[in-house]
Amino acid sequence: MILLEGFGSDQVTLRSLARPFVLGGWHVLTFDFSGHGRSPGALDFKNAQTDRLARQTLAALEAFSRLTGLPPERIYLAGHSLGARTALQSAVLSPLRLGGLILLGTQVNLSTNVQSEFFTGTSDSSLEWVTALGPQTPAAQILLVSGDWDDILTPSAANLLYRRLSAGQGGSFTREMVILSGLVHNYEPFSPRVWEAVRSWLARQTGADLPGGGGQTARVLAWLGGLAGLLLLAAGAERWTASALPAAPAPASGTEITSLPRFLRAKLLLWLAALPLAAALGGIFFFLPLARPVFNLIYVGFIGGYGLLLLILYWRGKMPGVRGGFWARESTRPRAWRLAAALAVFALALALTGAYARSGWFFVFPLNLRLVWLLIFTPFTALGFWIGLREGDLLPATGRVRAAHTLIGLLPFFLYTFLMAALGSLSGMIGGLQGLVILWLTLLVGGTIRNLGARPALAAVCMSVLLYWLLLPQGVLFR
C-alpha cells in the first residue's frame, strides 16, 4: 500500500491509516510531495494543471516495487483529497496495471466547484487525463469514499465522478462508491467508518483480514482527550502562576488607561486601520527569493501589522484612551530561577505539542525551509504579542475586561472562520477553528511564561515560536 497525503498535509497524518496495514502484514510506503512536510521544493500555483505530483507517485511506485519485490498489480494506491486526485491521475498515466485505488474525498470535479477551482486554478473537466477517465481507464479496481458534508468533493460531484468511471460497469474493473453521512472532508483519513469501508472492500478484493475499526475509534478519542488535556494544563498553569507568584513590576513610564471604553473601542476599530499594514507586510515576503508558506501569511500579516500600528500610536502618545507615551524598561530584574522556570515551561510546551503532533492529528515540525520562515516571521509576530502583554499590565484585573481585550485581539481570525462558514466552506471553517485553538493555546502558554519570567519580550518571542511550531507544517510551500 502506498499512502498519499492531502493538500498541505504530510506523512504524519497518514499514520492512522498506515498502522492497521502494518498490523495486517502489508508493506506500506508514505512520502511527502514537493512543498509538503519534510520534502524540499515547492508547488506552482498552477500545479493542478501539471503531471508533476503524479510523476512523483509513479517514481515512488517504481522504488517501492523494487524494494519489496512486489509487482505493480499487487500494489494499491490510497490517497486523500489531493492525494486521491494524484493516485487517480498516476493510474491513468501509468502503462502498468495496479492492484487498485482507494480514493478518499477525491479532489476531482467534473462540474463547477468555485472553492476547488479557486485553489487549483483550473477547471478539471478540461484536463486531458480527466477526459480519459472511464470504465477501462484507469486499469484498476477503484473504491471511492467521501462524506455527505464534503465541500471539496460534494456528493453530487462524487456521483458524477463515479458515473464517469463506471459507465454502467461495462468494463473489466469494478468501481464502488460509499458516501458516509455526517462526515466532513478534513477528517476522512481519521474516520473509523471510512476505515471499515476500506477494510471491507479490501477483504473482497484480496481476502485480507485487516484489523477492525476499534483502533481508529480509540485513536480519535485519544486525540480529543489529548487536546483537551493540553488546553486544561495550559489554562491551569496560567491561572496558578498568576495567583501564586508576585505580580510583575508596574511600568515605570507612568502610562495608564484613562478611559477603558474608549480604549477598547479604539482597539476594535484599529483593526480596520491595520489592514493596509497587514497587506503590505504580507506582500513584502513575496519579494524574498524563497518558496513561501502562503496560507500562513494571515497570522504574521494580521498580528504583525496590528502590532506595527499600535507601536506607532504608543510611541507617539496617540493611543486613544491612554495617557502617556511608550513604556520604559522595567526597573527591576526577575530572579534567575523565574527566568529558568519560564524557559522550562516553553521547552515543555514544545515537547508536549511535538509529542501530540506525532500522533497524526497535527504534524511534526520539519527542519527545512519552514524553519527559516519561523525565524523570519517570529520578530513581526512577537511585536504584536508583546504589545498585547504590555497592555495587559495596564488593564484592570477583572476577568471580563481581560477576556474582551483577548477577543478583540483575535477578531480577524474569528471573522475569517465566520466568513468560511458563510461561504459554505466547511473545510475552511474547520481550518479557522483549528487556528483559533492553536492561538488560544499559544496565549495560555505565553501568559504562564509572562507570569514566571516577568519579561513580556521573552514571553512574546516564545509565543511566536510556539505559534509557528504548530502552524507552519500545515500548509504548502509555493513558488
Most confident of 46-50, 165-169, 289-293: 289-293
Q: Provide the percentage of residues in the chain whose pLDDT is more than 90.
A: 72
Flag whether pLDDT at 129 surpasses 90. Answer: yes
CA dist., res. 73 & res. 98, Å (int):
4
| Pairwise CA distance, residues 305 & 281, whole Å | 7
Q: What confidence tier does 117 reach under pLDDT thresholds 50, 70, 90?
A: low
Grid cell digits, residue 351: 515537547
Please tell me the distance from the alpha carbon of residue 172 to that of residue 170, in angstroms, as a whole number. Answer: 7
- Say how far apart CA 395 and CA 408 lie, in whole Å: 14
Residue 167: burial class (beta carbons within 10 Å; 0-12, 13-18, 19+): middle
Cβ atoms of 258 and 322 closer than 8 Å: yes
pLDDT score recorded for residue 330: 54
The predicted pLDDT at position 120 comes to 61
Q: Say yes or no to pLDDT of 477 above 70.
A: yes
Q: What is the pLDDT of residue 162?
A: 95
| b/e code 426-449 from CB counts within 10 Å (16+ = b) | bbbbbbbebbeebbebbbbbbbbb
Report whether pLDDT(374) > 60. yes
State if pTM tops 0.85.
yes
Most confident residue range from 63-77, 167-181, 361-375: 63-77
Cβ neighbours around 475 below 10 Å, total: 22
Residue 335 is predicted with a pLDDT of 80
Give residue 365's pLDDT band: very low, low, confident or very high (50, 70, 90): confident
- What sign does the dihedral 59-62-66-72 (CA atoms) show? positive
pLDDT in the model for residue 131? 93
* HSE-up of residue 178 (Cα within 13 Å, Cβ side): 19
d(CA 332, CA 386): 18
| Least confident span in 89-93, 128-132, 252-256, 448-452 | 252-256
Closest CA to 211 of 219, 199, 225, 193: 199
Stretch among 117-121, 315-319, 356-360 having the lowest mean pLDDT:
117-121
**Cβ atoms of residues 34 and 43 within 8 Å:** yes
Is the Cβ–Cβ distance between 83 and 4 less than 8 Å? yes
**What is the reported pLDDT for 248?**
56
**For residue 103, which amino acid is it?**
L
Amino acid residing at 450: R
Torsion angle defined by CA atoms of residues 383, 389, 392 and 393, in that order, rounded to the nearest 10 degrees? -100
Question: pLDDT-derived band of residue 190, with 50, 70 and 90 as boundaries?
Answer: very high
Question: 105 by DSSP, 3-state: which?
Answer: coil
Instruction: Kindly report, residue by residue over 417-468, the tens digit of the pLDDT.
Output: 999 999 889 999 999 999 999 999 999 999 999 999 888 999 999 999 999 9
Q: How far is CA 378 from CA 96, 319, 381, 400, 443, in A?
A: 48, 25, 5, 29, 15
Cβ atoms of residues 14 and 364 within 8 Å: no
Question: Which of left, alpha, beta for 360 (phi over 0: left; psi -120 to 50: alpha)?
Answer: left
Tell me the C-alpha distance between 311 and 321, whole Å. 15
Which helix (H) or strand (E) segment is 176 a member of? strand 175-180
- Whole-number Å distance between alpha carbons of 81 and 36: 14
> Rounded mean pLDDT of 17-23?
93
Residue-wise pLDDT tens digits, 213-262: 778 888 889 989 999 999 999 999 999 998 888 765 555 556 788 999 99
The one-letter amino acid code at 440 reads W
Closest-CA residue to 180 (of 78, 102, 111, 105): 105
pLDDT at 1: 97
pLDDT one-digit tens code per residue, 44-59? 877 777 799 999 999 9
| Domain segments of the chain as ranges | 2-212, 225-471
A 10 A CB-CB count for 265 gives: 14
Query: How many CB atoms are closer than 10 A to CB 279?
Result: 14
Q: What is the DSSP letter of 210?
A: -
Q: Which contiguous run of DSSP H or E holds residue 179? A: strand 175-180
* Residue 392 burial (10 A CB sphere; 0-12, 13-18, 19+): middle
Share of the chain above pLDDT 70, in %: 93
Pull the grid cell for residue 29: 510506503
234, three cell numbers:
495550559
Q: How confident is the model at residue 313 (pLDDT cuts 50, 70, 90)?
A: very high
pLDDT value at position 114? Answer: 64
What's the pLDDT score for residue 113?
Answer: 63
Under CATH, to which class is 2-212 assigned?
Answer: alpha beta
Strand partners, 2: 29, 77
**Does pLDDT of 122 surpass 80?**
no
pLDDT score recorded for residue 217: 86
